[in-house]
Amino acid sequence: MKRIGLFLCAIFISVICHADTINLHWLNYDGSSYQDSTCTVNGDLNIPTTPPTKYGYTFTGWKLTNYIPIEYIQGDKQAYIDTGVVLNNNSSIEARFQFPNVEGATTGNFICGSRASYDSKAFVLVGFSGGSAWASNYNNSPELFGVSDTLIHVMKREKEKVYFDGINVITSVNKTFTTPGTCFIFSANQNGQPYLTSNIKLWYVKIWDNDIIVRDMIPVLDGNGVPCMFDKVEAKFYYNQGTGQFIAGPVLQ
């Protein structure tokens, strides 16, 4: 049986306030009415008492996380995140990003990845400020193509293919390898050390292992207002591992 948690079963979409009491209306995944509950201002949330059901799934409990979604998160060339995922030739990564136009065209800005060196056991997404070029390394297969600093792009490395804004721009030889370390975001993990940590803006990062999604990371403010990434797969916060600090984008309304 498949497992079902809060993210699949029900969400509340309407909030009605009466004095210090807030009435919450919860909906099923298909939009039908599920159950009502209440909470008090500055008090605990009363989650529904009846476990939700969906054919073929087993409910294993609620996953409630205190965070505020933000539009994007930006690095400062010192901050980076360790995703804990070791990449290989069956991995895939997708990122929505923008390069700030503040540097020369020869300065590298890593989005994410891990490698032994430039042309060895490399699975990274990387580009250059100034709009001149973009490089994506897949083992011994570096490639270049144009990128803009003024636009928001989506790039996906799907095993031996690269998709740029939905267009397949590269197909390389699928060579068997495993990266020597875990995948970093806002940098590359080069033999255990962050390499060319960047100041890009990120809207999300997704990582698959052999077509199974293992990270679905979005930018948020945690319960203390700290900018970080939240992984929806693990329901876990990922924080800065570097010496700088992240810059939060606008709060999503």
DSSP assignment letter at 117: B
**Residues 84-108: tens digit of each pLDDT:** 999 998 999 999 988 776 544 455 6
Distance CA 126, CA 170 (A): 14
Question: Sign of torsion, CA 179 184 187 190?
Answer: negative
| Per-residue confidence (pLDDT) for residue 47, from 0 to 100 | 75
Which phi and psi (to 5°) does residue 85 adopt?
Answer: -105, 125
Q: Over pLDDT 70: what percentage of the chain? A: 75
**Residues 184-220: tens digit of each pLDDT:** 999 999 989 998 888 889 999 999 999 999 999 999 9
Residue type, 163: Y
Name the band, by pLDDT with cuts 50, 70 and 90, for residue 2. Answer: very low
Model confidence at 73: pLDDT above 90 = yes
Contact call for residues 97 and 200 (beta carbons, < 8 A)? yes
Distance CA 122, CA 106 (A): 20
**Residues 154-173: tens digit of each pLDDT:** 888 888 788 888 888 777 77
| Per-residue confidence (pLDDT) for residue 21, from 0 to 100 | 76
More confident of the two residues 124 and 103? 124
Question: Sign of torsion, CA 153 173 209 200?
Answer: negative
Task: For the chain, list the domains and their CATH numbers.
Answer: 2-64 (no CATH), 73-248 (2.60.120.200)
| Per-residue confidence (pLDDT) for residue 69, from 0 to 100 | 92
| Per-residue confidence (pLDDT) for residue 58, from 0 to 100 | 80
Residue 21, Cβ neighbours under 10 Å: how many?
Answer: 12
Give Cα 194 distance to the centre of its chain. Answer: 18
| Per-residue confidence (pLDDT) for residue 78, from 0 to 100 | 93
Distance CA 190, CA 202 (A): 21
Distance CA 217, CA 164 (A): 19
| Per-residue confidence (pLDDT) for residue 116, from 0 to 100 | 84
| Per-residue confidence (pLDDT) for residue 50, from 0 to 100 | 77
Average pLDDT over the chain reads 79
